Amino acid sequence: MELYRAHVLVCAGAGCISSGCQAVKSALEESIDRLGLKREVKVVETGCMGPCDLGPVIVVYPEGVFYRQLKPADAVEIAEEHLLKGRVVERLLYKAPEDGKTAVTSDQIDFFKKQTRIALRNTGIINPESVEEYIARDGYRALGKVLTSMTPEEVIECIKKSGLRGRGGAGFPTGLKWEFSAKAPGKPKYVVCNADEGDPGAFMDRSILEGDPHSVLEAMAICGYAIGANQGYVYVRAEYPLAVQRLSLAIEKAREYGLLGENIFGTGFSFDVEIRVGAGAFVCGEETALLASIEGRRGEPRPRPPFPAQEGLWGKPTVINNVETWANIPPIILKGPEWFASIGTEKSKGTKVFALAGKVNNTGLVEVPMGTTLREIIFDIGGGIPGGKQFKAAQTGGPSGGCIPARYLDVPVDYESLTQLGAIMGSGGLIIMDEDTCMVDLARFFLEFVQDESCGKCSPCRIGTKRMLEIVERITRGEGRDGDIELLEELGQGIKSSALCGLGQTAPNPVLSTIRHFREEYEAHIYHKKCPAGVCRALMVYAIDEEKCNGCGRCALVCPAKAISGEKKKPHRIDLEKCLRCGTCMEKCKFGAIYTI
């Protein structure tokens, strides 16, 4: 093993990739090479470090200096100043927008300060390709402890006592699930990691796999010991090639070190893990569909019971848990269930990772104790809403979830409170919306999504959501009718109670929850033919501001309906009878003279 004096972690999460981290990394490597530091400094790519909108970000260890918004030229300077001469490059450090205070390390930044990192304890901190670094941070110690000093029953008892609940959405108690599998007859048994991460707008699981793959492998082996399984599978979605690559390498290294494979730690316990790559079907995140897909079949759900814990992969008892759930296991074993249970609320223990996105200043990945309020997440950590706009609602749970309006900003985020509000905890997608988001349009968006992704096996889901979509589309086109809202509610309840799998059972939620909290917005569309957020194009009225219009005539030229007239150099006007509400004129006017009412 080679020893390096310094490590530079370059965030290569998808956020930083799109802001250009690859060029930064190349510049850094070239400079390191040129300065003759190649044997002393190692450059490593990590998973998302969290503050994506500050990307590209890098951290220089051992000091942990955090640099942000780098250009390739900045990387050259960091190599020459910091890496060669040991001088921190002041100008590339983070400065707080409120008071301009400089932060040298990330823990001095508000965004990080308010977080509690358990599942993300290593993500963005260690080199994910180095098993040594994982081991140096207590990695595989929990597995060692379990194999050498605990009985399988004690392991299950420990997880049960911790109060850990599934982080994939449903929140089922993890220890209980393990116990069911352990007690179920049938052999061999299997352990599965659900890394399908289907919620569009969420990337927690991906970041853990890319940033700390060993934590998942270690946890799966612990479960294997607890339930009596020797084989595990990680089902990763095809859209995550780096995660697949990291995980393959981690499995290889773990085998090399005897941490996976035959006779682990010489205890006689054997456990191995294989990867299965998905192929782009949202429904495969549902556990029975996922198992079908691992078996090489169409990913169609089947009715439960029997639950996978009793009859899973190839009909055998199978524990299936979400990536984040797995990442919590090793710390629980090492620090004890009491420690874990001391974090969070009465019924929701520990922390939750959220992918914070949408109309919020600090977008990225955050981990907070259960029970943290939405206000703290959005305003203290997220830095509030950009452009001086008003917060309107937060969306959790993606296509299965719902919205939480501003009046509930102080509700603690845990499984029960969110369910009470008609939303769900979900897997961690947290989309912030401001006054410019139309809630009816959002409902339409999610219905369209479910329509695309429904596997078509049962009719309530296939046909019912289609009907709902038709109605909502009609409303957004300004053709809503009296009784539509009630019809949507009725259809929604019907689908919820009769669909075969979780996809259909939760598909009406985005509609029902927006009706519940934003009924007046539906009414405005239906009865007043108005879209208060100004999103639904068909409901917009275009007009020209005479003060601003200089009569250049561009708008009239591009209008497909020839709805605009006016003399040259005189204010133009729009004939609303002819106007198709296409918006072209507004886009083309260079003087901002066209507006909508």
Q: Which of these segments, 48-56, 125-133, 261-269, 512-520, binds another protein (CB under 8 A)?
A: 48-56
206 near another protein (CB under 8 A): yes
200 binds, among ligand SF4, ligand FES, ligand FMN, none (CB under 5 to 8 A by kind): ligand FES
Q: Helix/strand/coil (H, E, C) string of 256-305?
A: HCCCCEEEECCCCEEEEEEEEECCCCHHHHCHHHHHHHHCCCCCCCCCCC
Distances (CA, A) of 451 to 303, 350, 446: 20, 35, 9
Stretch of residues binding ligand SF4 (CB under 6 A), selected from 49-57, 197-205, 264-272, 543-551: 543-551
Helices vs strands, H then E, count in the chain: 25, 20
Shorter beta-carbon distance to ligand FES: residue 364 or 383: 364
> Rounded to whole angstroms, how far apart are CA atoms 136 and 148?
20
d(CA 306, CA 186): 13
Region 362-421 residues binding ligand FES, contact defined as CB under 6 A: 364
User: By CB under 8 A, how many residues form the interface with another protein?
Assistant: 54
Question: Could you give the CA distance from residue 126 to residue 147 in angstroms, rounded to a whole number?
Answer: 25
Q: Does 20 bind ligand FES (CB under 6 A)?
A: no
Pairwise CA distance, residues 33 & 41, whole Å: 10
Q: Per CB under 6 A, does 88 bind ligand SF4?
A: no
Query: Using CA atoms, how far apart are residues 39 and 472, in angstroms rounded to an integer?
Result: 62
Residue where the block lists tokens 């000093």: 149
Give the DSSP H or E segment for 231: strand 229-236
Per rule CB under 6 A, is residue 114 in the interface with ligand SF4?
no
What distances in angstroms separate CA 526 from CA 313, 464, 539, 577, one per listed residue?
A: 48, 21, 10, 20
- Binding marks (x or -) toward ligand SF4, 544..563, rule CB under 6 A? x----xxxxxxx---xxx-x
> Facing residues of 151 across strands?
none
Cα distances from 68 to residues 15, 45, 92, 287, 323, in angstroms, run 13, 15, 6, 39, 28
Q: How far is the CB of 293 from ligand FMN (least distance, A)?
A: 12
Tell which one of 163, 502, 510, 551 touches ligand FMN (CB under 6 A): 502
In angstroms, give the least distance from the CB of 12 to ligand FES.
Answer: 7
What is the per-residue binding string for ligand SF4 in 465-504, x denoting contact by CB under 6 A?
Answer: ----------------------------------xxx-xx
Which one, 276 or 525, has the nearer CB to another protein?
276
45 binds another protein (CB under 8 A): no
- We find the least distance from the C-beta atom of residue 504 to ligand FMN, in angstroms, to be 8
Q: Does 351 bind ligand FMN (CB under 6 A)?
A: no
Distance from C-alpha of 208 to C-alpha of 247, rounded to nearest angstrom: 10
What are the Cα distances from residue 457, in Å, to 198, 460, 495, 503? 19, 9, 14, 11
Q: Is residue 218 at the binding interface for ligand FMN, with CB under 6 A as the rule?
A: no
Q: d(Cα 92, Cα 76) in Å, to the nearest integer?
A: 12
Q: Which stretch binds ligand FES (CB under 6 A): 45-53, 147-155, 228-236, 370-378?
A: 45-53
* Structure token pair of residue 374: 């939405």
Decide: is 330 part of the binding site for ligand FES (CB under 6 A).
no
Q: Which of 58, 209, 291, 320 binds ligand FMN (CB under 6 A)?
A: 320
List contacts with ligand FMN (CB under 6 A).
Answer: 166-170, 172, 194, 196-198, 283, 285-287, 320-322, 325, 427, 501-503
Contacts with another protein, residue ranges (CB under 8 A): 13-15, 17-19, 48, 52-53, 55, 198-203, 206, 238-240, 276-282, 293-300, 355-359, 363-364, 395, 398, 429, 431, 433, 437, 442, 445-446, 449, 455, 587
Q: What is the contact surface with ligand SF4 in residues (CB under 6 A)?
A: 283, 301, 454-458, 461-462, 499-501, 503-504, 542, 544, 549-555, 559-561, 563-564, 572, 574, 579-585, 589, 591, 593-594
